[in-house]
Amino acid sequence: MTIKTASTPEQKYTAVHQALIETYGEPAWRQHLPPVDELVSTILSQSTSDINRDKGFYALKERYPDWESVINAPEKEIIETIRSAGLANQKGPRIQEALHYVQTERGEIGLDFLQDLPLDEAKTWLTNIKGVGPKTAAIILLFAFGRPAFPVDTHVHRITQRLGLIGPKVTADKAHAILENIGNPDTFYPLHLNLIRHGRETCTARNPKCMVCPLQMYCYYYQAGQHAS
């Protein structure tokens, strides 16, 4: 099979985006959660499944009437409430600290101001919260506000490395800026979701299904024959 090598990263990015739309469709943006809810949910999502994340998140929402009540609750109580999300001993205090930071800095527990803040400033503001890195900041900005940030989770990182959109030694944290620089902002939401789906269904970490992958012709990993090992 002939491997198509796009002349620029931008062209490859566009080709991959179109191929995944043809395979999975084009997701339309919708707000997943309100901004502060998204912050808490994303902290809970670290190193766990979506199902366990949601169990922890909705346990918090059911037990406490508002986020201020979460701040003021005993730490051990929060930890027990989110036990199903995993790593509760770390995530419980982290959630309380993040909410307290927002309240202290803004005088309220709200993030709506990020909608109008310049994008770089919004990212910096969020990553100043302890435990919030580029991925969490990008998720909040993209999913809660529809702003042009490109979250890089394990699926996105793995696939974009295999494709050669990012270098083999580029970290997930650094991949955010690279992908944002080569892609059209209007594509960030659908491509992010389609890459996650592709990573779960086809381009898996182990035993990827390269022989049925619609991205074969753009993929350095496939070209190198690593799929056969």
Which residues are known catalytic residues? 135
Max intra-chain CA distance, the chain: 61
Ordered alpha helix ranges (H), 84-219: 88-106, 119-127, 134-139, 145, 154-163, 172-182, 188-201
* Separation of alpha carbons 151 and 64, rounded Å: 29
- What's the DSSP call for residue 27? P
Give the closest residue to 18 by CA, choosing from 215, 171, 166: 215
Containing 70, the helix (H) or strand (E) segment is helix 67-72
Look up residue 125 and give its two tokens. Answer: 């503001």
Burial of residue 66 (number of CB atoms within 10 Å: 0-12, 13-18, 19+): exposed
* Separation of alpha carbons 132 and 117, rounded Å: 18
Region label for 47, one of left (φ > 0), alpha (ψ between -120 and 50) or beta (otherwise): left
- What's the DSSP call for residue 29? P
